[in-house]
Structure 1
Amino acid sequence: MTSTPPRISLPHGPEIRRLIVGLWQMADQERDGKPFDLDRAAEVLVGYARAGFDSFDMADHYGSAEIVAGMAHRALREAGETPPTILTKWCPAPGAMGMDVVRKGVETALERLGLDRIDVMQFHWWQYAHPAWLDALENLMRLREEGLIGAIGLTNFDAAHLDLAAKSGIEIATNQVSASVIDRRALGAMSEVAAAHGVGLLAYGSLLGGFLSGRYLGAEDPAEISDWSRMKYRRMIEAAGGWERFQAVMAALGGIARRHGVSLSNVASRWLLDQPAISALIIGARLGESEHRADNLRVFDFALDAEDRAALDAALAGLDPVPGDCGDEYRKPPFLTASGDLSHHLDSLPPVYPVTAAPARPGRQRVESGSPWEAVAGYCRALRNGNRILVSGTTATDPHGRCVGEGDAGAQAVYILDKIIAAITSLGGRAEDVIRTRIYLVDLDDCDAVCAAHARYFGEIRPANTLIGIAGLVGPYLVEIEAEAEIG
């Protein structure tokens, strides 16, 4: 019988447990000023570590999680015991990400933890259209060289932007994403990209906040839900087809659990741990209220056989795919969050680019992206005239004048399309307002990669499009894209 969760070595990071203690429910435990005993919580967390559950996941917005984890870390050090592995997150609002901003974010976490080094700093970015996320990651790389962090992780990045980050020279240890038998988005393109770059996927939501447990097998759809975790995952269940179809999956899980003499949660966890790209599961803990360590360990004492997999596959075939890619629930509707929007996280998302009046014609507005070519050649990134927005031919030039995704047309297309969306939204439009795009491609062998990127952004919008093969572009650019949008 397994006594502690096994460890796994990350190619670009530390050794971690395959079951990580997740502390995000601490934010719910402290909600609305509810009294919460930090000393008692730290004692409980020390108990987890001594039982072999010594990889802790937290974030800057999980209430007092970093403080409590730091207290547990200190208690174990002072007792001469091995301290836990700390994985925390930095989730800044979109804006400039100079070294001063990034250093402050890391130092704030270090101060709350009472440490001089974070094992894994996981970075979340709310808005890919804002290009400063690459600046943030580059500065995190520099802070890793200084020794303030051991490894860089991502949180809720989609496959395209994980790929772009890795191809931009960022060494990524992990990407933490929602994954479960219900939410299988991470098992497609994300798994392929992660494997290609040696990135370990950390799965949160693997038990849907407790919905994937025997308690809910055959249960009625709960009329009221009080905690944030289940509020969020009830939305996930609805996105996958609703409570009735969810119960069909629960019945299959329950049958497999009875065959093996384990819990329904064990079966759901075992299935996910068997997915090749999944390095570890993050199992949420409500410190001081309940704990399921002994049951969780049983996931390592049995294996799913062909009959089990066939039964589960048949039930899963009745679900709808959760829409979008990993992390989309935090970036565009439907927002599969506790509140159904981003109100628990951000007040608003300001325009990426400042809007100025176009002096040549009253009523026109324009934006500039900061590309040095705009000033050199005398043009703007996009111009709004009435309800029409015209976006200039755009390459993967960042605000510092560098080519992003050099040598990879697909990666360049992702960065370009983010810039185009940034320009359109800054001028009051939306991606859905795009009515035409034009793609200029240096090498037609790159057609598939660039078209796949275009489809990720516009596959449901279906604007008119023209793709043109050209002799070349100035500099190391492989693709240029322009767009037109009409508001209203």
Structure 2
Amino acid sequence: MIERISLAPGLTIARALTGLWQIADMERDGRELDPAVAARAMQPYVDAGLTTFDMADHYGSAEIVAGTFRTAGGYDASQVQCLTKWVPEPGPVSAADVRAAIDRACARLRTDRIDLLQFHAWTFADPRWLDALWLLEAERDAGRIGAIGLTNFDTAHLRVAIASGIRLASNQVSGSLIDTRFTRKLAPYASQHGVGILCYGTVLGGFLSERWLGAPEPNWDALETWSQMKYGRFIRTAGGWEKFQGVLRAAHTVAAKHGVSIALVASRWVLDQPGVAGVIVGARLGQSQHVADTTRLFTFALDDEDRALLAAAQAALDPIPGDCGDEYRTPPFLTASGDLSHHLSSFPAPFITRPGHDDRTLALSGTVWEPMAGYSRAVRKGNRIHVSGTTATHGSRAIGGDDAAAQTHFCIDKIAGALQSLGGRLEDVVRTRVFVSQVDRDWEAVARAHGERFGHILPANTMVQASLIGDEYLVEIEADAELS
């Protein structure tokens, strides 16, 4: 029996989701799959109870294939769940942009309502990612979207979204025996707030399989698929081929004990982690289905001995650095190309800049306070950038609710955006000053959030108690940076 879980009101999914990202890989030579032929290859999944499919606006013709299947007849379309993603370019987002994205997805999926729309933000230094989520909330309230999810959000920014009142069903991130970042902070926080974690990459693009057990290290420059190119970087970051073989051997021992494949052991381990709602198993429709094998994911259980054996092998690995989603935002970029060149052409400046007097350059974030009080978000003169006291404000909205850590992260995001707009980055910061309104209650949450963001930089820092302007503001931060 396929395990199922309620992800949101009216949305129950199979805990093994079928991922259609490999359609983009199958079409990367410029050809397009025949939608009718590819759609027929979805039927065996539904027949086996694997009724949930994951796709995105940039997975080649995946949405078109799924839409073709939805209208092909011969089954109850209401029993199939199509989860898709919206991955806009960084920069400003308008209501028209959001409506156009939803209209396009609905047209391709041949539906008037999207079951779950998952949003990806390329950068958090540009606060306009929150505009997109508020606009998606309006579309959900209008009935165009059943539920809103995220993809590749770290814990800090999941926290900012939740504390700002965004109602979320899920967050889709990388998770595997090799990449255990999701278990550290993200899954516990998400579980606490009713957000299900959906993990992709559970079999590392096929590397977690018998094919690679005892095999020589591959030529990393001559791999077959984008998934292998991507997860090859994860393997090397985790300590290399020999340490990876240790995990493979442990998984093989467990697999032999239960009479299943290494891939199933790898996926079951992820599925058993607290807070995980489902695992996404990729399919090359018409080529590599694995339907029968995937259904066996629910026929066995890992015991304490199995978990201990796997944990011992994992202990030899180097931890994947950072939090979930960092592979798309900070070096080392653990993507197929090793950078973002196949995703983006550029990042626009988060804030408006203009010349000031005496060879200064000014950055303006657009809050109501700046024109009223006559100041800039940040000023650059020469190789120095001075960032004004920054609160968790975006336009006329207060961000982060009564969560001091969420407010701190958003303040630091705005500081990063100001620095980026003036040619700097957080790593250039040499001093921060932190003002906390309720220091007895919030100092530790603020300090820990500051430590998460500046722990690798270690600027000079001062924290003081202060009465801030506006009862909604729990923290204010200013920063000085020097560019080398």
Q: Where on the TM-score scale, by shorter chain, does this alignment land: which range?
A: over 0.9
Higher mean C-alpha deviation, range 276-285 or range 440-449: 440-449
State the alpha-carbon separation in 1 of the partners of residues 78 and 97 from structure 2: 32
**Residue 210 (structure 2) pairs with residue 218 (structure 1):** no
User: Is 1:144–1:150's contact at 8 Å kept on the other side of the alignment?
Assistant: yes
Counterpart position of 1:450: 446
Counterpart position of 2:297: 299
Provide structure 1 residue ranges, at least 5 long, that are not aligned to the other structure.
none
**Residue 90 (structure 2) pairs with residue 86 (structure 1):** no
Counterpart position of 1:209: 205
Counterpart position of 1:414: 409
Relative distance call for 1:342 and 1:12 in structure 2 (3 A) is farther
State the alpha-carbon separation in 2 of the partners of residues 12 and 396 from structure 1: 31
Counterpart position of 1:43: 40
Higher mean C-alpha deviation, range 456-465 or range 61-70: 456-465
Q: State the Cα distance separating 1:481 from its structure 2 match.
A: 0.1
Q: State the Cα distance separating 1:45 from its structure 2 match.
A: 1.1
User: Is 1:391–1:482's contact at 8 Å kept on the other side of the alignment?
Assistant: yes
Q: CA RMSD in A?
A: 1.3
Counterpart position of 2:272: 274
User: Is 1:60–1:66's contact at 8 Å kept on the other side of the alignment?
Assistant: yes
User: Is 2:33–2:61's contact at 8 Å kept on the other side of the alignment?
Assistant: no
Counterpart position of 1:167: 163
State the TM-score, normalized to the length of structure 1: 0.96
Q: State the Cα distance separating 1:13 from its structure 2 match.
A: 6.0
Counterpart position of 2:21: 24
User: Is 1:24–1:59's contact at 8 Å kept on the other side of the alignment?
Assistant: yes
SS at 1:120 equivalent: strand
SS at 1:32 equivalent: coil
Counterpart position of 1:380: 376
State the alpha-carbon separation in 1 of the partners of residues 10 and 239 from structure 2: 37
Counterpart position of 1:179: 175
Higher mean C-alpha deviation, range 227-236 or range 50-59: 50-59
Relative distance call for 1:102 and 1:415 in structure 2 (3 A) is same
State the alpha-carbon separation in 1 of the partners of residues 259 and 152 from structure 2: 34
Q: State the Cα distance separating 1:11 from its structure 2 match.
A: 4.4
Q: 2:50 aligns with which of 36, 49, 53?
A: 53
State the alpha-carbon separation in 2 of the partners of residues 484 and 231 from structure 1: 40
State the alpha-carbon separation in 1 of the partners of residues 75 and 434 from structure 2: 62
Post-superposition Cα deviations, 1:459-478, rounded to whole Å, max 9, x if no partner, equal: 10111111111234334211
User: Is 2:364–2:370's contact at 8 Å kept on the other side of the alignment?
Assistant: yes
State the alpha-carbon separation in 2 of the partners of residues 298 and 80 from structure 1: 24
Instruction: Look up the equivalent residue of 1:264 and give its one-letter code.
Output: I
User: Is 1:69–1:113's contact at 8 Å kept on the other side of the alignment?
Assistant: yes
User: Is 2:208–2:262's contact at 8 Å kept on the other side of the alignment?
Assistant: yes
Instruction: Look up the equivalent residue of 1:357 and give its one-letter code.
Output: P
Relative distance call for 1:99 and 1:40 in structure 2 (3 A) is same
State the alpha-carbon separation in 2 of the partners of residues 450 and 70 from structure 1: 47
Q: State the Cα distance separating 1:98 from its structure 2 match.
A: 2.2
Relative distance call for 1:470 and 1:464 in structure 2 (3 A) is same
Aligned length: 481
User: Is 2:48–2:295's contact at 8 Å kept on the other side of the alignment?
Assistant: no
Counterpart position of 1:431: 426
User: Is 1:13–1:173's contact at 8 Å kept on the other side of the alignment?
Assistant: no
Counterpart position of 2:351: 353
User: Is 2:14–2:50's contact at 8 Å kept on the other side of the alignment?
Assistant: yes
Instruction: Look up the equivalent residue of 1:28 and give its one-letter code.
Output: D
Q: 2:135 aligns with which of 112, 133, 139?
A: 139
State the alpha-carbon separation in 2 of the partners of residues 383 and 46 from structure 1: 59
**Residue 474 (structure 2) pairs with residue 478 (structure 1):** yes
**Residue 4 (structure 2) pairs with residue 7 (structure 1):** yes
User: Is 2:355–2:361's contact at 8 Å kept on the other side of the alignment?
Assistant: yes
Relative distance call for 1:74 and 1:83 in structure 2 (3 A) is farther
Counterpart position of 1:290: 288
State the alpha-carbon separation in 1 of the partners of residues 414 and 397 from structure 2: 14
SS at 2:397 equivalent: coil
Instruction: Look up the equivalent residue of 2:252 and give its one-letter code.
Output: G
SS at 2:400 equivalent: coil
Counterpart position of 2:64: 67
Relative distance call for 1:352 and 1:13 in structure 2 (3 A) is farther
State, as a whole percentage, how many aligned pairs show the same letter: 54
State the alpha-carbon separation in 2 of the partners of residues 215 and 6 from structure 1: 28
State the alpha-carbon separation in 2 of the partners of residues 457 and 35 from structure 1: 43
Provide structure 2 residue ranges, at least 5 long, that are not aligned to the other structure.
none
SS at 2:92 equivalent: coil
Higher mean C-alpha deviation, range 59-68 or range 454-463: 454-463
Q: State the Cα distance separating 1:82 from its structure 2 match.
A: 4.4
Structure 1: 4+ residue segments shifted above 6 A:
none
Relative distance call for 1:69 and 1:323 in structure 2 (3 A) is same
User: Is 2:106–2:114's contact at 8 Å kept on the other side of the alignment?
Assistant: yes
State the alpha-carbon separation in 2 of the partners of residues 164 and 454 from structure 1: 14
Higher mean C-alpha deviation, range 172-181 or range 405-414: 405-414
Q: State the Cα distance separating 1:302 from its structure 2 match.
A: 1.3
State the TM-score, normalized to the length of structure 2: 0.97
User: Is 2:70–2:77's contact at 8 Å kept on the other side of the alignment?
Assistant: no
Counterpart position of 1:404: 399
User: Is 2:36–2:69's contact at 8 Å kept on the other side of the alignment?
Assistant: no
Q: State the Cα distance separating 1:36 from its structure 2 match.
A: 2.5
Q: State the Cα distance separating 1:229 from its structure 2 match.
A: 0.6
Counterpart position of 1:313: 311
Relative distance call for 1:376 and 1:244 in structure 2 (3 A) is same
Post-superposition Cα deviations, 1:185-223, rounded to whole Å, max 9, x if no partner, equal: 111110121012100000000110111111111111111
State the alpha-carbon separation in 2 of the partners of residues 209 and 302 from structure 1: 23
Q: State the Cα distance separating 1:317 from its structure 2 match.
A: 0.5
Counterpart position of 1:264: 262
Q: State the Cα distance separating 1:137 from its structure 2 match.
A: 0.9
State the alpha-carbon separation in 1 of the partners of residues 151 and 32 from structure 2: 29
State the alpha-carbon separation in 2 of the partners of residues 477 and 37 from structure 1: 55
Relative distance call for 1:406 and 1:81 in structure 2 (3 A) is closer
User: Is 1:13–1:151's contact at 8 Å kept on the other side of the alignment?
Assistant: no
Counterpart position of 1:240: 238
SS at 1:129 equivalent: coil
